[in-house]
Amino acid sequence: VPTPRTALLLAYPGFTALDLFGPQYFLAALPGLSPRVVAYGRAPVPGDGGAVVIPACTFATAPDECEVLLVPGGSLGVVAAMRDRDTLAFLRTRAAKARIVATVCTGALVLGAAGLLRGRRATSHWLVRDAVLPRLGATPVAARLVEDGADLITSGGVTAGLDLGLALVRRLAGEDYARRVALLAEYRPARAPEMGDPEGALPEDVDALKSMFGPLLAQVCEAADNAAATFGPADAEAAGGARQSPHA
């Protein structure tokens, strides 16, 4: 008897709502797939910017297997999530039985803190990618989407979650279906081409954001080092390999 296919979307205090609900829209368009928000307990979870969500299931009640395990990013909330044993344990058990593990923005750092990016190629928000991913044993890649093998897709900052969602639809339902979902979503953004691209941004804008998020980056680096210190000797090789990356 086939069980209903599930996409588990992790919510933790301070998660960025758009990181979760970007992919959620696309996943909800997949026939036979139920996106379900999962959190530590039944209590409402406050995200960034006034968002408060109620989880559909908890770390204890979430199904063991899922099609997609999604980890959204956040700002200060990410530091706490990277240090939370329950969150990391949940990710480890469910990732082992997930068809695809996917992250948006700084969600990659939470997945990485669970030891699940060791030896893998991954991306994250440009503000943290090259500084933090190597500390977690991952090789940073400067790309909006990084598909590493059949079971891992990481994506860049915030809005990259929409491209992730579309990539998941393509992977799970094919190119024709993805094209129709994109049309239903009217996914043909109109922003000016010089905006939003870390590689082509004005240096003063990059500096302003680096300055604004410097304290957060320091906290995230510390949380990453603390997490990596728990990985154990079996993982030294993968972490070492990643440290030799030209990005590191």
Smallest distance, a second copy to C-beta of residue 174, A? 13
Tokens 């979430």 — which residue? 62
Between 21 and 114, whose beta carbon lies closer to a second copy? Answer: 21
Between 213 and 231, whose beta carbon lies closer to a second copy? Answer: 213
Tell me which residue of 85, 117, 63 sits closest to 12, measured CA to CA: 85
Tokens 């996409």 — which residue? 7
- Interface with a second copy by CB under 8 A: which residues? 9, 16-18, 20-22, 24-25, 27-28, 34-37, 44, 48-54, 56, 105, 125-126, 144-145, 156-160, 162-163, 166, 178-180, 182-191, 193-198, 201-202, 205-206, 208-209
Amino acid at 150: A
Tell me which residue of 27, 22, 25, 21 sits closest to 7, measured CA to CA: 27
Partners of 52 in beta bridges? 46
Smallest distance, a second copy to C-beta of residue 67, A? 14
Query: How far is Cα 157 from Cα 142, in angstroms, rounded to an integer?
Result: 11
Between 86 and 205, whose beta carbon lies closer to a second copy? Answer: 205
DSSP state of 15: B
DSSP state of 201: S
Check if 221 is active-site.
no
Smallest distance, a second copy to C-beta of residue 208, A? 6
Between 149 and 176, whose beta carbon lies closer to a second copy? Answer: 176
Residues 57, 66, 105, 221: which is the catalytic one? 105
C-alpha distances (whole Å) from 16 to each of 34, 46, 80, 81, 107 are: 21, 9, 14, 13, 10
Smallest distance, a second copy to C-beta of residue 243, A? 25
Between 60 and 208, whose beta carbon lies closer to a second copy? Answer: 208
- Residue 139 in contact with residue 146, Cβ under 8 Å? no
- Residue 11 in contact with residue 38, Cβ under 8 Å? yes
Smallest distance, a second copy to C-beta of residue 170, A? 10
The residues annotated with a catalytic role in the active site are 105
